[in-house]
Chains A and B, each alone.
Chain A
Amino acid sequence: MNKIIHIEDFSRSGGQLAQIDPAELMPLPPPYDKMSKPPIRQLTDEQRKRMDASLDGVVAIGLTPPANPEEEKAFIDKFLAGLEKLFTIENNWTFLQPLVHTLDYCVKCQICSDACPTYLASGRQEIYRPTMRAEILRRIISKYIKKENSLVRKFKASDIDLNWQTLARLAELAYRCTLCRRCAQVCLIGCDNALISREIRKIFSQQMGIAPKELHEKGAVQQLKVGSSTGMTPAALMNIIEFIEEEIEEKTGRKIKIPVDKKGADMLLIHNAGEFLAWPENLEAFAILLDAAGVDWTLSTEIAGYDSVNYGVWYDDFQFSRVAIRQSLAAKSLGVRKISLGECGHAHKAGIVVADRVLTGDLNIPRESILPLLEEIVISGRVKLDPSRNNFPVTLHDPCNMVRLMGIVAPQRRILKKICPQFREMTPHGVENYCCGGGSGFAIMQSTNFPDWRSAVSGRMKFKQILDAFHDVPGPEVKKYLCAPCSNCKGQFRDMFEYYGVWEKSGILYGGLVELIVNAMVDLKKPFIQWEWH
């Protein structure tokens, strides 16, 4: 059994709080039950000196220890000042009500723990319990913000010693939760520990300027500066679009002009820019299908107008709002009637739902998911489809952001049931799905051994689910398709599948939804999906 860890241990200096023991991790079916390599790479001594890894030996942020006690004090004071701001309307109206509710009313029943894929897959590592972060925060608030006296603190078991180490571990711990909100879904009190992870991230970012590089500097900042978090400039975008048009012609013989910056188009379609670089076939499929269905659409080349990602939704309210506003401005300048979001879960949730109360006046342009339109195209028969072209086992991954967090559950299923004769569900699925393990930015975070952690721990439950869904055809000789209508999830699957050697051992290809639709199009001569994409 994993070591019992108490909150007091978070303040102990030196040493690593939790060890990830391969023997304790949730078992996987064969052939993945016997992995030859250790699940998580050890850091080098040099890395350990430079970056704090005292939580679990893994680095997402990797803070540098303070040089002297003054620096340590300044660090703690700044954190506490940020914590105080979290409870003021002007600084945190955005999440004040859910935050206060969770902190004040959790009854510590631990029901949420059993819902958390990270906690379960880790073999119930105490530090990954959904309530752990909230409990640490509650104690800091009791002692340092409310300044409750020591007797009250004893009565409420809310004592804690705050030092640099405590905060460094807390900062890392805030990045061991995928914000999938499965824990929140089962809480009968309406508390939300995922939100607490986000609020902790927020203090570190908005107050202290600390966030994983991939989310902030290379993510949101780059998106606002260059146009996309991938670093792709509008000029580069145009090149890729040209390439995509050529590819389409080569594959299908069709000459399709992808509409770009088309003023007055009905719909601005925003993709996750990661698709342009990593999965151009998704964009090709969109272009082919929308063209065949006669949809009046356009892409944009404005800042953020060609990249639907919004990393702020995971760590920073201002970065979030900035991106959401830029995306709306892009639509406004084109004079489109609506914005439609491509296959990206968090972009859906961020752009359609969360941004809703930041976009006021004429920035509030109607925004929707592309899935209902895809459903309409498939079900109406507007485009002729032949399901037998998809006659291989297919399962569906539900991106939390699209499903549990915004209730888009049925359209993708109706599509798959119509065009994939061997479609099978995972268990559980729909709003009770398990996260891919790459949520809340993890899929793009590549720091040192963090990718190992998200393959071995946070993605483990999903991985098992996928294998279980294909239990009747486990070997690589039967080619199988994991449909993941989310770029972020696909990023996680790419890394996780490589980590476990899934193509070689099980023959599972991951990809989007629209690829399957186009693959079934009767008037395409060759199959669109190529198993070599793996």
Chain B
Amino acid sequence: MGTLIIVLTYIAYVCIVAVYTFKVVGWLRLPPHIRWDLYPVIHEENYRYGGSYYEQQEWWTKPRPKNRWRSIMYSLKDNFYMGEYYKRNPLYWLFLLPWHLGFIFIITFHILCFFAAVSMVAGLEISAASASSAGKSFYYILLATGGFAFLTGTFGSIGMIFIRLADRSLRMYSMPMNFFNYFFFLIVYGSGLFAWLALDPTLVEYRAYWLGLITLSPPVLHPMTVLHIILFDIFLIYLPFTRSTHYITRILAYFYIRWDDEPNQRGSKMEKQLNDLLGQKVSWEGSHIAKGKSWVEVATEPGFPDTKKDSK
């Protein structure tokens, strides 16, 4: 059993990292698009009211300072707070937020466990009774993170099932997959919660498990903890196949679409990229688009005589 969970855990982590990377790289490799910014653009000086550099005369002669730090904080903030949901559908927010926090904290908990295991190899004792204050604090941080993850995840999963059924708009556009996910995640968090509360109140088994992982020595754990870990590993493998990548892609969408206000300048790298795209042959069949021509050829001809049929 110990060996199984070690192997499975490694597979799970490789899978989640690989698939997420694949998806994110795929997203980023999509070609530059036409500008489609939407205000407020948070890196702008006047972001508070949604102002842009276009508010100045001859904007191209002025500096365009970008506050990247503010943008990063703004985009991350919503992973933890989701203010727009609170404003518009507070009941939904009440369940959605814990559900999301469950994800964030369970992953954080495991990452912390990894560091705990590394510290343990280095000789740190992590427990409430540890002689070192670092060991003691680490113990409580782990306990708080893990406990919070199990509680919020369980509460959120139950709540999401409820709200998706109770709210008409949400119900109408729900898919069986949503409910499968809620139930599955409920089992994952619920098993963790049960193992923690009933069997392993100090979460010592997780430290043993992570120690086993990094020292490649199969740990001996309670079957309930093993069950939770197996479920958690399956969860890690499954996660990237859901829409969960939006944790990352939503931030990319902010930076690369909504806040992408970079003007195209003569002789720039972007201009070169655009010229390549404009040189590609298009195959649209509308009568105003000549066959076998490139984008730029089509765009520079007038596009008539036009035989476009209008149905009126």
A binding-site residues for B, Cβ under 8 Å? 4, 6, 51, 61-64, 78, 81-82, 85, 89-91, 93-98, 100-101, 104-105, 107-111, 113-115, 126, 129, 131, 135, 154-158, 181, 184-186, 188-192, 195, 205-213, 216-217, 221, 224-225, 316-319, 321-322, 325, 338, 352-354, 356-362, 364, 366, 368-369, 371-373, 376, 403-411, 430-431, 447
Contact = CB atoms under 8 A, between A and B. Distances in A.
A195 B310 contact: no
Contacts of A212: 310
Contacts of A316: 286
Kindly list the 5 A-B residue pairs having the minimum CB-CB distance in the complex, ordered from nearest.
A407-B52, A190-B253, A431-B50, A157-B175, A321-B299
Contacts of A114: 88-89
B71 interface: no
Indicate the member of A95, A225, A362, A406 with the most B CB atoms within 10 Å. A406
Contacts of A322: 299-303
A105 B54 contact: no
B308 A216 contact: yes
A351 B287 CA distance: 25
B304 A221 contact: yes
Contacts, number: 291
Given A107-B243, A189-B250, A217-B308, 16 more contacts: A61-B311, A90-B280, A181-B38, A190-B249, A192-B257, A208-B285, A208-B286, A210-B309, A210-B311, A216-B310, A318-B284, A353-B37, A357-B264, A364-B265, A368-B54, A430-B49
Contacts of A376: 57
Interface residues of B, number: 91
B52 A155 contact: no
B257 A101 contact: yes
A447 B311 CA distance: 11
Given A224-B302, A318-B303, A408-B52, A91 B84 contact: no
Contacts of A372: 54-57
Interface stretch (B6-14, B27-35, B148-156, B188-196): B27-35
Contacts of A129: 169
For the residues of B in contact with A, the DSSP-based class is loop
Contacts of B51: 407-410
A63 B51 CA distance: 41
B277 A89 contact: yes
Given A94-B34, A135-B173, A216-B310, A111 B84 contact: yes
B263 interface: yes
A319 B286 CA distance: 11
Nearest to A129: B169
B312 A185 contact: no
B183 interface: no
B54 A408 contact: yes
Contact of A360 (B275, B282, B283, B311): B275
B180 interface: yes
A409 B284 CA distance: 38
B162 interface: no
Contacts of B254: 190
Instruction: Specify which of A105, A126, A322, A404 lies most central, judged by the most chain B CB atoms within 10 Å of its CB.
Output: A105
A361 B51 CA distance: 28
B34 A207 contact: no
Given A319-B288, A403-B39, A431-B40, A89 B280 contact: yes
Given A105-B243, A110-B170, A407-B44, A209 B92 contact: no
Given A4-B172, A225-B304, A109 B92 contact: yes
Contacts of A61: 311-312
B33 A94 contact: yes
